[in-house]
């Protein structure tokens, strides 16, 4: 797979096809292979781009901990490198955060968001107590100067995504999950197709319904009985949804 350099980072990328530009944005702890069913389907009608985000797959890690705004800036640089204008963005989970941030500041033709992360749920008092306890314990261990103990505490206390991240990507994860796109949703006026697994636990269905309600031109398709990876588990069905949503944009 070819690599290009974007802002000093080596980025694994694939591109094929002709027509309107489509950019695929994979989720957290994923890589471009997860978007291949859509990539192979759409390249018959569009110029499609599929890549590994910095810090994932075969692409370089960012030089410092990034939040979603930095990933949006990266996407802007990526689009500039390929002269991508007014693209169709198709994202999953974390990729949807980046897509929404991008669309809030740049021209976008349409978006397809599946299992979209980005709305932070209100914390219960039990969760607030748990977080306060974690911070207090972390501070106490930090004061001992025992880095090995602190790392072991972080590893055992965090989520699976946090535990599996290392180095700069661990702090990147913290920044990403604390980003909330709620205030941007009403500013998104382009057509948006939301695709959700009914039993999505990572980004529960209520988030999809809230996005549909807040975006001015959005529709929600629910894949019954499926989870956070419904778009991949039912790739043929997902591709049919893409056909309906994007058919008027095809280049035959």
CATH number of the domain at 190, please. Answer: 3.40.50.1820
Domain of residue 154 covers 125-173
Q: Are 22 and 15 within 8 A, CB to CB?
A: no
Residue range 156-214, pLDDT digits in tens: 545 564 566 668 998 999 899 999 999 999 999 999 999 999 999 999 999 999 999 99
Whether 74 and 106 map to the same domain: the answer is yes
- In whole angstroms, how far apart are CA 12 and each of 4, 57, 215? 7, 8, 32
Angle, helix 68-81 to helix 168-177, in steps of 10 degrees: 100
Whether 190 and 156 map to the same domain: the answer is no
Which of the two residues, 179 and 140, has the higher pLDDT score? 179
Whether 220 and 185 map to the same domain: the answer is yes
Structural domain ending residue among the three candidates 154, 173, 192:
173
Whether 47 and 166 map to the same domain: the answer is no
Tokens of 243: 């056909």
Whether 109 and 73 map to the same domain: the answer is yes
Whether 82 and 12 map to the same domain: the answer is yes
CA distance linking residue 242 with residue 246, whole number of Å = 6
Q: What's the rounded mean pLDDT across residues 246-250?
A: 93
Count: domains in the chain:
2
Whether 31 and 49 map to the same domain: the answer is yes
Whether 151 and 87 map to the same domain: the answer is no
pLDDT of residue 142: 59
Phi, psi of 106 (to 5 degrees): -140, 155
The b-or-e profile of 2-19 (16+ CB within 10 A means b, else e) is eeeebeebebbbbbebeb
Whether 30 and 108 map to the same domain: the answer is yes
pLDDT band for position 121 (50/70/90)?
A: confident
Burial of 121 (0-12, 13-18, 19+ CB in 10 A): exposed
Whether 218 and 143 map to the same domain: the answer is no
Whether 116 and 221 map to the same domain: the answer is yes
Whether 11 and 112 map to the same domain: the answer is yes
């Amino acid at each position: 797979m070819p690599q290009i350099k974007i802002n000093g980072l080596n980025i694994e990328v694939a591109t094929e096809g002709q027509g309107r530009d489509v950019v695929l944005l994979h989720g957290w702890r994923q890589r471009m292979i997860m978007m291949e069913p859509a990539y192979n389907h759409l390249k018959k009608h569009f110029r499609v781009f599929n890549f590994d985000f910095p810090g994932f797959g075969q692409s370089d890690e960012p030089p410092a901990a990034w939040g979603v705004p930095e990933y949006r800036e990266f996407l802007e640089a990526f689009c500039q490198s390929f002269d991508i204008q007014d693209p169709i963005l198709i994202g999953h989970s974390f990729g949807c955060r980046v897509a929404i941030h991008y669309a809030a500041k740049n021209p976008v033709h349409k978006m397809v968001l599946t299992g979209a992360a980005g709305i932070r749920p209100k914390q219960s008092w039990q969760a607030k107590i748990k977080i306060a306890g974690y911070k207090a314990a972390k501070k106490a261990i930090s004061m001992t100067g025992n880095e090995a103990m602190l790392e072991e505490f972080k590893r055992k206390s965090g989520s699976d995504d946090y535990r599996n991240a290392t180095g700069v990507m661990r702090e990147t994860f913290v920044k990403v999950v604390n980003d909330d796109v709620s205030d941007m949703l009403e500013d998104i006026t382009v057509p948006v197709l939301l695709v959700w697994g009914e039993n999505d636990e990572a980004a529960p269905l209520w988030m999809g319904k809230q996005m549909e309600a807040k975006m001015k031109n959005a529709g929600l398709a629910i894949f019954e009985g499926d989870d956070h990876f419904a778009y991949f588990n039912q790739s043929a069905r997902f591709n049919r949804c893409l056909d309906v949503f994007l058919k008027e944009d095809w280049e035959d």
